[in-house]
Structure 1
Amino acid sequence: MPNFTVPNGDQWNSKPAWKLPGWCEPVMVASILFFAMFMTRKRDYKIFDRTSSGAGYLDGTSNGSTDYLLPEDTDSDNEYDDISTAKNLPKVRRICCWKVTTPNTSRFRNNIHSRVLQRFPFLIEMFYWIINYAFYRMTSVLSSKLFAGRGIWEVAQEHGIAVLEAEEYGMLRFLFPVRERDVQQWFMQGHQDALTILNKAYALIHIPGTVGSVTSSHGICMSTDIDSFICWYYYVAPSFNTFAIARRTLTLTNFCAFVTFVIYPCMPPRLLPQEYGFLDTVRHDDAQSVWMSGKFVNQLAAMPSMHFGYSFCIGMAMIYHSGLFRRTLERGEVRKNIFWKIFYLIVGVGYPSFILTTIVATANHYIMDAMVATFFVFFSFFCNKVFYLFIPLEDLLLFIIRADKPIPTTGDRFHERGGRL
């Protein structure tokens, strides 16, 4: 192992990441989500006025009810294809070679909770991300039970060391010309102010970056990074189908990561024994984000890095949204001027690059973590329609709670404002 210096307390001068009260960050997350719910509301729809029209940009039916439908006799990818205009007829879903009949929930469109959903359709997205978080919370429990015999901490440490050795001595070592400890050492020796910025960014960047901008391997911070993106893209995407592709890709990336967290618990570099040369800079002086400790966190979920996975997915969506590399635009979309094209391109490249630097410099992830996350994003993008299999379950759930699926508002204000968002 090459020589390196582990600084002691006297040598370490960088300011720690701030420590907010435990109630502060949950309030921030809730505030962002409710703000997004308000911004994406259906403005011409009144909950207590049953004469309000339920029709919207994506709806062509007379009863105002829309659903995420599997295509039946068409090659269309639109999740809102209509099967029948007849009142309350069952829905017929086509899943591969099978047809599935599910209840039609349009009869419940005037129930009060249906009308609330119609007014605030983003509530559906919030519900699905709660399910995401519930699955994340299970990863730590399942992994601990799976490796109860040897001890989860020991197994995770072995895996972390194995990642370092694979990067340095494995057959694919040419993919890792830079070592994580060298990156952190560079920041510690003469660039500690920059590391201070990265510490603070790692502690809180997922909160404003993803509820406003979709979840991270470090607890609810998981839902904040992604949530921000989900909120923003739900509002500005040119169509709901485009938004749904991004959302499904992020969701499938999550589940790929969750499975990995369970079967391959991995200790982050900062928690390895001191002789490996890493310092836990974010927790310096016990100052840290609430999302990095306690019941919200699976500390042994370094592989893959969902911090980078989310940022990479967000970056690709930003580049797509810029329109720079698209010859054709979606219906009603207006081509952006050169300023906005360059702006979204810079954000699309700069955001994941900044996150990659942050997770490595703060010793929270290995470079291999980011590479595996990138692979999961590409895999999820090409396989995201697997979630169509769950559409019949959604039909049944809506029928059980006596609610009708709301019409999404994605694209409404985009088209009203000339497609310049």
Structure 2
Amino acid sequence: MMISTTALRVAACRGRLRWWSELPLIAVVYTLYSGARLLVRGEVSDAVRHGADILHDEQLVHLDPERWFNRLFANHAFLGVPADFAYASLHYIVTPATLVWLWRRHPVHYRRARTWLTISTLIGLVGFTVLPTAPPRLLNGGHGFIDTMALYSSFGWWGSDASAPRGMGHLTNQYAAMPSLHVGWSLWCGILLFRHGRHWPVRTLGVIYPIATTLIVLGTANHYLMDAAVGILVMGFGFALAGPALRAVDVLSIRLGRAGKPGPASPASTAGAVR
């Protein structure tokens, strides 16, 4: 009985990738993301200035829809409350769920997708470090934004400190708006769901999720349109670097494997062993 090439590739992938090695790797990346985001707070005055500059630049080219969406969400609780719940939770649910789905259903594509996400996240951390940025909701009142997370905090577990649980605002960095990894990660999920989903509901979710996330981050005044655009750009860089990074890792693994194997025994040593 002949075995298909795809089946052999799946078996090879499952042989190389084990959940007990993947989980710690993902945990390390997530810890780096959370820790670096917390530690690299930057100067508040610089972050506020950067946020105001971004808004000013958007206004110059008439691409500043944040206020309109923010007023819509602030004036209509039936939009604002679900948006706040989505902002505070889906980022941390859908992304790992997509990873697990790939692992279980499409293991051939899992390794590249995981590497793509990892590299993009690390690039995002560089952005948080280099350009600390206050989100629209933390600009002064003259800019006209309403913090919907604070406005509707009685409906959820968050307080006035973004999506952090009440009393834990000191454990998050609110000045890491640029780039928007909410948008970046949702785009990653959407592309994978659309590309590898076998049923139309999964593929439809792949289209809707990144679009909805973009509208949510704008309407809740947690990101600027430019943050979303740079988040998409970051994912593009991560995708471009994933292939070369995997090839480099594979080459290094092969070389290390060869270096660790004992070489063939010399005739003299073999003769000595016989005697």
Give TM class, smaller chain: 0.7 to 0.9
CA drift of 1:387 comes to: 2.9
Structure 1 residues 318, 66: CA separation in 2 closer, same or farther (over 3 Å shift)? closer
Q: Does 1:345 align with 2:203?
A: yes
Candidates 299, 321, 346, aligned match of 2:174: 299
Q: Does 1:261 align with 2:128?
A: yes
Inter-partner Cα distance in structure 2 for 1:123 and 1:260:
31
Structure 1 residues 395, 276: CA separation in 2 closer, same or farther (over 3 Å shift)? farther
Structure 1 residues 394, 286: CA separation in 2 closer, same or farther (over 3 Å shift)? farther
Inter-partner Cα distance in structure 1 for 2:78 and 2:139:
24
1:205-354 to 2 correspondences below 5 Å: 205-210=90-95, 227-237=96-106, 239-240=107-108, 242-284=109-151, 286-287=153-154, 288-289=157-158, 292=164, 293-294=168-169, 296-322=171-197, 336=198, 340=199, 342-354=200-212
TM-score (norm 1): 0.52
Letter in 1 for 2:118: T
1:88-167 to 2 correspondences below 5 Å: 121-136=18-33, 137-141=35-39, 143-144=40-41, 152-167=43-58
Match of 2:259 in 1: none
CA drift of 1:285 comes to: 6.2
CA drift of 1:196 comes to: 1.4
Inter-partner Cα distance in structure 1 for 2:228 and 2:59:
16
User: Does the aligned pair in 2 maintain the 1:139–1:259 contact within 8 Å?
Assistant: no
Candidates 48, 67, 74, aligned match of 1:181: 67
Q: Does 1:372 align with 2:224?
A: no
Structure 1 residues 186, 155: CA separation in 2 closer, same or farther (over 3 Å shift)? same
Structure 1's unaligned 5+ residue stretches are: 1-54, 69-120, 211-226, 323-335, 397-421
CA drift of 1:56 comes to: 9.8
CA offsets 1:304-330 (integer angstroms, 9 cap, x no match): 1111101111111111113xxxxxxxx
CA offsets 1:254-282 (integer angstroms, 9 cap, x no match): 01100000010011111111111111111
> SS where residue 383 of structure 1 aligns?
helix
Letter in 2 for 1:180: E
CA drift of 1:156 comes to: 0.5
Candidates 11, 15, 31, aligned match of 1:58: 11
User: Does the aligned pair in 1 maintain the 2:74–2:146 contact within 8 Å?
Assistant: no
Structure 1 residues 67, 203: CA separation in 2 closer, same or farther (over 3 Å shift)? closer
Aligned residues: 241
User: RMSD of the alignment, in Å?
Assistant: 3.0
Aligned-pair identity (%): 26
> More helix by proportion, 1 or 2?
2
Inter-partner Cα distance in structure 2 for 1:140 and 1:244:
28
Structure 1 residues 259, 344: CA separation in 2 closer, same or farther (over 3 Å shift)? same
CA drift of 1:394 comes to: 11
